[in-house]
Each structure stands twice: as C-alpha cells, then as structure tokens.
Amino acid sequence: MTVIKEIIARQVLDSRGIPTIETEVILSSGKKGRAIVPSGASTGKFEAIELRDNIKTDFNGKSVHKAISNIEKIIKPALIGQNPFNQKSIDIIMIEKDGTETKSKLGANAILSVSLANARACAKELNLPLYKYIGGIFATTLPIPMMNILNGGAHANNKLDFQEFMIQPVLSCDINESIKMCAEVFYELKKILNKEGFSTAVGDEGGFAPNLPCTRGALEIIVQSIKNAGYNTNEIKICLDVAASELYKNGKYILKGEEKELSTNEMINYLENLTINYPIISIEDGLNEEDYYGWQDLTKRLGCKCQLVGDDLFVTSYRKLENGIKEKMANAILIKPNQTGTLSETMNTILLAQKNNYKTIISHRSGETEDTFIADLAVGVNAGQIKTGSVSRSERNAKYNQLIRIEEELTKNY
C-alpha cells in the first residue's frame, strides 16, 4: 500500500514579495506533490489564521519559519505512514493536532500547504490530472472567469472605494474565447486611461489602479471599453467586489472617494441604483460581514436580479454558510481554501452550497503564487466561475493557462 514517506516544507515568496509556505508530500512510490499557499490583503474577521513569526527584523515580521517548524515537528511525524488517499483522514489528523477553531496553533498556512500537496501527490500516483482526481469523470465544466480590470479599496492606492471591478463574458462557450474577450476589453481600457491621462500601473491582482474620482466614473469607462473592444453589455457583464467590511465604521458605510456616509438601507439603495444603471451581474460583499439583517434585506431586494456573493460573510466556512442558507443571506459563495485551511473542509462547503443552489466561485488571493491548484479545483467541482485576477501578472495568467490546458484535454476526451 502506498503511504506518505516524507514531507518537506520551505519558505518561498508570493506575488507581493511576502513569505509563504511551499510543501512537498513524497509518497513511498517516489511520486510527489507540491503546493504553495497564497495570502490575502483584505481578510475576513472569521478566516482561519495564517501563522507569521512577527519578528520585525525578518521580512518585517512576515516570515513563516514557525509554521514550517510545525510542519516538520508536529504534522510530519503524525502523517508519515498514513494512507494519502484518505484525504479527509489526513486533514482531520492535522486539525486535531492543531486543536483550535481557527487553526492558530499550527497555522492554517501550514496545514493547507500539506493538505493540497497531499492531493496533488495522490493525483500523480494515479497518473490522473488533478481536476479529475478531485472530481472524477463528472469534472467537465470549465469556469467562466470574473476578470479583474480595475482595482480600488485595499488593493490599490487610489480614491475608488470598491475593491474590484471585474468583467464576465456571460455568453462565451469556452475558456479560450472568454480569456480573449476579457483581454481585449482590458487592452481598450488601457487605451482610454492613457488618453484621459490616468495611470496604467496595476494593483495587487493585475487590474489597473487609476485615481478615478468615483465608482460611477469607473463603471462608465468599463462600459466604454467593452464597446470599444467590439462587444456589447449583453455579452460582457460587470461584477463588483465592494469589500464593504473595509468601508464599515461605527454603523455607517464610509465612501471616502464619494464623500458619503450611508446607513445599511442607504447602502442597499446605492447598490440597487448601480444595478439599474449599469450591466452589473454580481456583487460581492455588498455589506459588512456582520450586518446580518442588512444581508437579508439586500438578498430580498436584489437576490432575484443579481448574484450576491458572500466572501467575508461566509469565509468558506461550512457552519457560516449553513447559517446563511437558513437566514436567506446572499445566493452565492466565494471559495478560498486558505480561509478554512484544508481541502476536505473546502470541498464540504462547496457541496453544501451546490446542494442548496448557491452559486460557487473559486477564488485566488491578492498575494498569489505560481501554483495553479484553484484552476483544477474549479473544474474538479464544476464550480462554473473562477476569480483569478487580470491578464497582466504571471501568477494570475498561470491559472488561465492551466484552464486552457484543461480545456484542451477535455475537448480531446469528450
């Protein structure tokens, strides 16, 4: 029987030059799996905790040597000799060794790196593509990208209050076409920004970060970019990540760029007005993560017209999603494996969402890496949508390129 023979962890860098963990799980057959975990800038209050050393003289406190030591001294001895194909058992062993609800003892970054590396090693052992190992013969759906083209909020140093302005090619039938359409809009957006004298420097996730005056100004430019690229707003829609928890202060939503302070009801009115006037199909984190009554009202008002995505609201948590379903909050969930800390917990949350007709969007983080696990995960669980940034940074394009390869494989096989 194949067992786990060795686990090796090391400190590497993410796309912002901040340390993260890369782990290799080596099986007794010699096959190995490798995974690198990402890190977020705009993080939900209830996310699993990534462990940092907090030593100011070492990467300004961001080094991860303690988490790596936990892999070597605690996780590795517990997993050597275990059956790698029992993913749930592997994950439970690590969860129990940690013993905290937020994985703060061993670090969610340590646990997740081992969990994902183990799954990849198993796929290689069986000579299967990772997406097929995850989803089996039913893993056939390529996700529609939600491509970031403008950044604001915590992802950029400008006046835009909302964190992400994305586009989604809703009528496209394949990933190559989807990427082409989005890229062409991105090119046109750059032309417009240059012509208007705005910066075309990009933010953490690859979208432009111009100092536009307001949300409506950003939306107007995006609509014009869609048209200039030869498309219309029936073909390409707009998606927003409001990241409202970052805007919420003392019971009000503070839109500094627009010099507004809004109550929950006024914020809902504001979002509704945007959906009436612009081709917006999805709104992520439209309200604060603990504004539960507000979320219920938002869902009543806009849930039939728009995809309402819970990111900070749900943090990929089975328990929080279960409560959200019961209380009728949102109608979609953003899935980030490092919010919960293991592959099996991530899968459980996805299955709960799909069972209850909540749409699922597999997502990257602002601090990304060259690891393409989420591309395979999106296909493996037939998520239908993926959020992995723009086409201007290689750590984002790595995921798009992997989806292109997967589409090629699926086209040959079916």
Catalytic residues: 205, 336
Beta bridge pairs of residue 400: none
Long-range CB contacts (< 8 A, 24+ apart) of 377-380? 377/131, 377/134, 377/335, 377/337, 377/346, 378/143, 378/403, 379/131, 379/135, 379/139, 379/140, 379/141, 379/142, 379/143, 379/403, 379/406, 379/410, 380/130, 380/131, 380/132, 380/133, 380/134, 380/135, 380/139
Candidates 388, 394, 346; CA nearest to 175 is 388
Q: Measured between alpha carbons, how far is 262 from 219 in angstroms, rounded to an integer?
A: 20
The most distant pair of C-alpha atoms in the chain lies apart, rounded to whole Å, by 64
Element (H, E) at 23: strand 19-27
Half-sphere exposure of residue 80: CA atoms within 13 angstroms, side-chain side: 10
Using a 10 angstrom Cβ sphere, with 0-12 exposed, 13-18 middle and 19 or more buried, the burial of residue 223 is: middle
- What region does 26 belong to: left with phi over 0, alpha with psi -120 to 50, or beta? beta
Sheet holding 248-249, edge to edge: 248-249, 252-255, 260-262
Amino acid identity of residue 164, one-letter, is E
Burial of 322 (0-12, 13-18, 19+ CB in 10 A): middle
CA neighbor of 140 nearest in space, from 174, 101, 103: 174
Using CA atoms, how far apart are residues 211 and 224, in angstroms rounded to an integer?
18
Bridge-based pairing of strands 332-335 and 19-27 is: unpaired
CA 172 to chain centroid: 21
User: How far apart are alpha carbons 188 and 303 in whole angstroms?
Assistant: 32
- In whole angstroms, give the CA distance from residue 379 to residue 13: 26
| Cα–Cα distance for residue pair 148/206, rounded to 1 Å | 7
Give the Cα-Cα-Cα angle 175, 334, 48 (nearest 5 degrees). Answer: 130
